[in-house]
């Protein structure tokens, strides 16, 4: 394109009132203070924002990390980066947001999209309200959330949901997450009735959480009857006090899951679901043994889509097959030595 052509194009854009695509701002974060500062800036800078967290532990201060934005721009927080933020190790265990058993960890309000990738949220605590680890609230119908390849563990609430609560109008997608060791009157995951677009639960491992016997389920979905809801390739096991799955408003499509207890009607097309011992490496180490019946039996085309990597950063699909849960049992999968 010549200079004259570029001038004509720009003039045409102005005449038509077209809006140029939004720029993206990137933050390289190394400390808790820098993380909160980046969240503050991202809330009002009229830009889509990427916050890269370097490996290490980010402890909350006097209160949880807060993001409160009414702008129509997205926020993506990703862990595992080196000090220069040019290289990344895809392993959720390497970047830890720690509530120190004193505070909720993340409190996010958005009118657009919020994404979390390769993070560990641990030791969150909330008194008098739900969401010991985190909560995401939406403003308007465009609000939505994606959690992919994260660990939510050892968090609590004395009121309700011990782990994460989502109250957004758009799509809620949980892919490849490990949810474990969370305790409270309610289960560790609650997806509220505000959701009016879709709910996708894919390749998550939800294990070893505790709730009161009469509470909603370990994973509770309260979306409306006309909302597409699906769960594929998940493991729901060894959770106490409530059914593993509970959803209201409509039936959920369940494909190739392993669960112990369910309190819901399966949707049309549900198939391939099991109730068998997953054969984890141990009660605190949730990779699958080589003898597990859950190896290679997942659907490759779940409605909610697949992540490219598992929690350790290994390829999600190997030999044209996928395992259930958050980890792939590939050769060398234990090389990092990570245990819970």
> Which structural domains are found in the chain, ordered by start?
22-288 (2.160.20)
Q: Say what the pLDDT of residue 249 is.
A: 67
Dump pLDDT digits (tens) for 76-115: 999 999 999 999 999 999 999 999 999 999 999 999 999 9
DSSP 8-state symbol, 161: -
The answer to whether residue 180 scores a pLDDT higher than 90 is yes
Q: Is the pLDDT of residue 59 over 80?
A: yes
Question: What length does the chain have?
Answer: 340
Has residue 67 got a pLDDT over 90?
yes
CB neighbours (10 Å) of residue 183? Answer: 20
Kindly state the tokens that stand for 195. 């959701």
pLDDT value of position 209:
96
Give the pLDDT confidence score for residue 218 in this predicted structure: 94
pLDDT at 22: 56
Reported confidence tier of residue 338, pLDDT bands at 50, 70, 90: very low
Predicted confidence (pLDDT) per residue in 321-330, tens digit: 999 999 998 6
- pLDDT of 245 strictly over 80: yes
Q: With CA atoms as reference, report the closest residue to 47 among 27, 67, 74, 29.
A: 74
Percent of the chain with pLDDT over 70: 90
Strand blocks (E) in 118-177: 120-122, 125-126, 134-138, 144-148, 151-153, 156-157, 164-167, 172-175
pTM of this prediction? 0.90
Q: What gap in Å lies between CA 189 and CA 303, rounded to an integer?
A: 20
Question: What was the pLDDT predicted at 162?
Answer: 97
Q: Are 116 and 84 in contact (CB under 8 A)?
A: no
pLDDT tier at 236 (50, 70, 90 boundaries)? very high
Using left for φ > 0, alpha for ψ between -120 and 50, and beta otherwise, residue 264 falls in beta
pLDDT digits (tens, 9 = 90+) for 273-318: 999 999 999 999 999 999 999 999 999 999 999 999 999 999 998 7
Please state, in angstroms and rounded to a whole number, the distance separating the CA atoms of residues 2 and 29. Answer: 41
Q: Tens digits of per-residue pLDDT, 6-57?
A: 443 443 333 444 444 556 899 999 999 999 999 999 999 999 999 999 999 9
């Amino acid at each position: 394109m010549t200079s004259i052509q570029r001038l004509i194009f720009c003039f045409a854009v102005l005449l038509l009132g077209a809006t140029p695509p939004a720029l993206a701002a990137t933050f390289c974060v190394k400390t808790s203070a820098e993380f909160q500062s980046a969240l503050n800036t991202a809330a009002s800078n009229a830009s889509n924002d990427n916050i890269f967290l370097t490996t290490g532990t980010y402890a909350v201060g006097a209160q949880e990390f807060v993001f409160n934005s009414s702008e129509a721009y997205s926020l993506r927080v990703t862990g595992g980066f080196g000090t220069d933020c040019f290289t990344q190790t895809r392993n959720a265990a390497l970047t830890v947001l720690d509530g120190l058993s004193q505070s909720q960890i993340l409190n996010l309000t958005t009118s657009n999209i919020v994404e979390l990738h390769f993070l560990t949220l641990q030791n969150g605590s909330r008194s008098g309200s739900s969401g010991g680890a985190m909560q995401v609230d939406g403003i308007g119908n465009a609000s939505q959330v994606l959690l992919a390849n994260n660990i939510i563990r050892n968090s609590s609430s004395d009121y309700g949901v011990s782990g994460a609560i989502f109250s957004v109008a758009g799509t809620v997608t949980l892919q490849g997450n490990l949810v474990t060791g969370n305790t409270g009157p309610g289960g560790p995951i609650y997806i509220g009735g505000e959701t009016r677009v879709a709910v996708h639960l894919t390749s998550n491992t939800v294990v070893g959480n505790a709730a009161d016997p009469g509470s909603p389920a370990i994973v509770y979905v309260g979306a409306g009857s006309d909302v597409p809801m699906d769960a594929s390739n998940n493991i729901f096991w060894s959770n106490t006090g409530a059914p593993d799955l509970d959803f209201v408003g409509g039936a959920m499509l369940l494909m190739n899951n392993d669960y112990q207890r369910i309190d819901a009607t399966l949707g049309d097309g549900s198939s391939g679901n099991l109730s068998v011992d997953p054969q984890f490496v141990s009660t605190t180490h949730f990779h699958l043994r080589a003898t597990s019946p859950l190896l290679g039996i997942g659907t490759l085309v779940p409605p909610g889509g697949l992540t490219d990597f598992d929690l350790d950063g290994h390829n999600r699909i190997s030999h044209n097959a996928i395992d259930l849960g958050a980890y792939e049992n590939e050769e060398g999968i234990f090389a990092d030595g990570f245990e819970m």
